Structures are given as structure tokens and as C-alpha cells.
Amino acid sequence: MLDPQRSWDFAFRHLETLRRPWGFDASEAETGDYAALFGRDSLWMLIFLLDAADLVRDSRFSDWVLEACKDALGALAAHQGRRTLDLIEEQPGKIPHERREQLDARLRGMNIRFEGGFSYSGFDQTFLFVVACCAAAKQFGQAAVDGRLAQAMHDALAWIDAVADDDGDGLLEYRRRNPANLLNQTWRDSFDSLVSTGEDIPPHPVAWLSVQAYAFRAWQEAAAFYDRLGEQVIAADLRTKAAGLAGRVAQRFWIAGEDCPVIALDALKCAIAMISSDAGHALWSGIVGQDRVPALVRRLMRPDLLSAYGVRTLSTASPFFAPFSYHRGNIWPFDNAILVRGLLYYDYRKEARRVIERVITAIERIGSPCELYVALDGGLSVVPSLKDQTLLLRPRKAQENEIQGWTAAGLLYMAAALARLDGKTLTFRADELA
């Protein structure tokens, strides 16, 4: 039987091992590839922790989260882009992708460009920075976003306006400025995470569903933030942008007969018709119209996406399903935690519980908050004896990253959500677990 307190303690203990003056490392150094400050990872960790703090309501945990927010948001704001440098994809207002003290053999082999230890070759972290700042202000009061952070948030919003719509069509997409840097600059950052019929790599710039979702959420949260400051004109403008984006996504991203938005549009604005877990990010953001939510939830719960151990990154019905690739059919716990938050926002408690219990079961069986794992259900397995069972596997990439920060933070949030669903109270035992 699952015990929310056990999962909570397990997650917190691992999070503490990643705690740094800049907030958190994205993974541990011994087996991990990401023992450094990462913008995207740090921000998702903060968003999960803030949601957990809202559920648990323990002053000691809230103080711990507040300190983490100050450290992580402060570090990201201090290194926010100040110039235009295409070598590393830096632009004024952009939040860094990663900061490295030293480049290891893996990074040197990848040939990704760094300058002074920094790379800005990520597209979604600037939107998430706005979301995290606003969530911190909402949880701890406007004073949590002091003058420096407020200016950084303003600059991030200015970057969205100035840079994030590459072709001026009202959707958010990027064009890689340096061919040595990452091709796909969202959380699905492997080169083959997007595939379209007859063409291995869709033409760029790509408008990702996840990025539209984050932009919508950033504008909505920022509008509420500026409302509280009495800046109604700014707030109204942000809400107008969010509403316009939601309308464009509703018109252009949904697949007829699937009750689900596509993962992205290519440079020609043709749909890249992959049914993916990024639809859960859209649910979390609020960009999905209320009339479409019930059908989307049902779609996400179908067995081609929802396995015995959580929601897959790509439907098994897709011709591009490849569960041992990095982003095309395996299961990422942090990705599932985003979906859980969306399900609970719309009060789909039964569905949220189903996802939580499956992910926690997998992590407990694996024994560490790893980055990802694979579930092969029934007919997906070539082993006859497993026809009616599910095989839980850890590919080599997951074995390299035993402790992944956003997995641990997502697990902490899911443990808090499960406790709330069960009517239980969690105990924050930081001293015992240190």
C-alpha cells in the first residue's frame, strides 16, 4: 500500500542532496549529467515545491521553500541575458539554460557552445521564470519578489514580446541562432524528439504546444501579479495577449477526431501530429478551453498514453513510438506531476490518483528518483510470458541519472497531493532526514 509520508520523506531526502547556494543542482554528480544550475529544471522544481507548500501548509516547510525560491530565482535573475550573443543564444531578458564551472567530456563531445560557463540554448525557461516568480509572490506575498526580481520578471516579459515570436504570427517559436547548439530547445531537447511523415526533422522554427501553454500561463499569472500592484493597464494588456494566444492554439493545434492538441507546428504551420504528454502541460496551463477539458482528460487516460507506471511521453499508436529513445514513449515522472496538477485544478481526482499511484509505484520499485523509465505493456513486449503483464525497465540514460531534481520535486508534490486526497497530514521532518 502506498504511504504518502514515505514518498514525501524519500523525495525530500533526495532533494536535500541537491541543495546548493544557487537553489539546486539538476542531478547529482556521481552518476548524473546535470550537476549544475539549469534554468528549466530549477524552475519546475520551484513550481512543484510551491504547489506542495500550498497543500501541506507547514510553516517549516514553507520557510524551506521560500529560501529555495530566493536562492534559485536570485541566481537565475543574476545571470539573465544582458546582450545579444548568437554563439550561446543569449538575448536581453532571457533566462540561462545552464551554467557550468567546467565542461565535461560529454559536453565537449556534443560541441554545444558556452561562454564564461553559460549557455542560453533553451527556449522555455524564460516563460517558466515568470510563472515561478508570480507563484512565489502569490504564496509568500508580493515582497517575495523584491525590486531586483520584479525587474528581472519585467525584462523576461519584454524578451517574450521582442524575441519569442520569430515569424510574427502570434504563436511563440524560435529559430536556432547557432547550428552548434541544441536543435530542440524545450524540455524535449533530444534531436529526434520531433518527427514528421516523410521527413526526419520538421522544418524550423517550431511552435511547440508546451511553449504556447507556458506563455499563456506566464501572461495570466503576470496579469494577476500586476493587478495586485495596482497596474491595471499592464494587467489588461497581458490578459489580452493570453486570450489571443489561447484562441490561436484552439484553432490550429487540435487534431480532428483525437480530442487532443498536436505536439507542435512546423515552420509552414503544418501540424506535427504526435499525440504526446505535452497535452498535460496544456491542461496545467489553463490554455485549454473549458468545453474541451473533459474529452482531453479522457484522451490522456487511454492506454496508449497511460501505462501501468504513468503517462508516456508519446502514444504507443504513433508510428514514431520509440520507448528507448529519450522523449518518444518512455515515462518522465516530472512530466506526470505537471499533468497531475492540471487534473486536480479541474477536480479530476480519480484520474489524478491513478497517475500518482502508478508513478510512485514505479519509483519505489526502481529505488531512486531517476530521470525516466520505460513501461512495456502486453503486446508491446516480445516476451510471450509478459503478454498480460507490464515490464518496468530503466534504460541506460536513467541509470546515469540516479537522482534527478525535478523528479524528486515532482514526487514531493504528488505525495502532498495524495495525502490531501486521502485526508492525511504530512509531517515535515527535515532534521531527521538530513
pLDDT tens digits, one per residue of 354-364: 999 999 999 99
Residue 88 contacts by C-beta under 8 Å, 6 or more apart in sequence?
113, 114, 115, 118, 119, 120, 121, 178, 181
SS3 206: strand
Question: For position 103, what pLDDT does the model report?
Answer: 81
Q: Which of 164 and 432 is assigned the larger pLDDT?
A: 164
Question: For position 49, what pLDDT does the model report?
Answer: 98
At 389, is the pLDDT very low, low, confident or very high (cuts 50, 70, 90)?
A: low
pLDDT tens digits for range 52-79:
999 998 999 999 999 999 999 999 999 9
Instruction: Note if the bond before 319 is cis, omega within 30 degrees.
Output: no
pLDDT tens digits for range 327-360:
999 999 999 999 999 999 999 999 999 999 999 9
What predicted TM-score, i.e. pTM, was given to this entire model? 0.96
Averaged pLDDT of the chain:
93
Question: For position 30, what pLDDT does the model report?
Answer: 85
Concatenated DSSP letters of 1-48 = ---HHHHHHHHHHHHHHHEETTEE-SB-TTT-S--SEEHHHHHHHHHH
What percentage of the chain has pLDDT greater than the value 90? 85
- Using only C-alpha atoms, what is the Rg of the chain? 20
Angle between helices 4-18 and 405-422 (to 10 degrees): 160
- Quote the CA–CA distance of 242 and 388 in Å, as a whole number: 45
Question: For position 111, what pLDDT does the model report?
Answer: 80
At 382, is the pLDDT very low, low, confident or very high (cuts 50, 70, 90)?
A: low
- The HSE-up count of residue 193 (CA atoms within 13 Å, CB side) is 21
Angle between helices 278-285 and 333-345 (to 10 degrees): 40
- Quote the CA–CA distance of 124 and 207 in Å, as a whole number: 11
Question: For position 101, what pLDDT does the model report?
Answer: 84
Mean pLDDT over residues 360-389, rounded?
Answer: 79
Question: For position 350, what pLDDT does the model report?
Answer: 98
Mean pLDDT over residues 300-317, rounded?
Answer: 97
Whether the per-residue pLDDT at 384 is higher than 80: the answer is no
Question: For position 385, what pLDDT does the model report?
Answer: 53
What percentage of the chain has pLDDT greater than the value 70? 94
pLDDT tens digits for range 138-166:
999 999 999 999 999 999 999 999 999 99
Mean pLDDT over residues 103-111, rounded?
Answer: 79
Tell me the sheet residues that pair with 314: 276
pLDDT tens digits for range 2-13:
999 999 999 999
Q: Report whether 341 contacts 412 (CB < 8 A).
A: no
Question: For position 332, what pLDDT does the model report?
Answer: 98
At 434, is the pLDDT very low, low, confident or very high (cuts 50, 70, 90)?
A: low
Question: For position 383, what pLDDT does the model report?
Answer: 55
Q: Identify the CATH class of 4-433.
A: mainly alpha
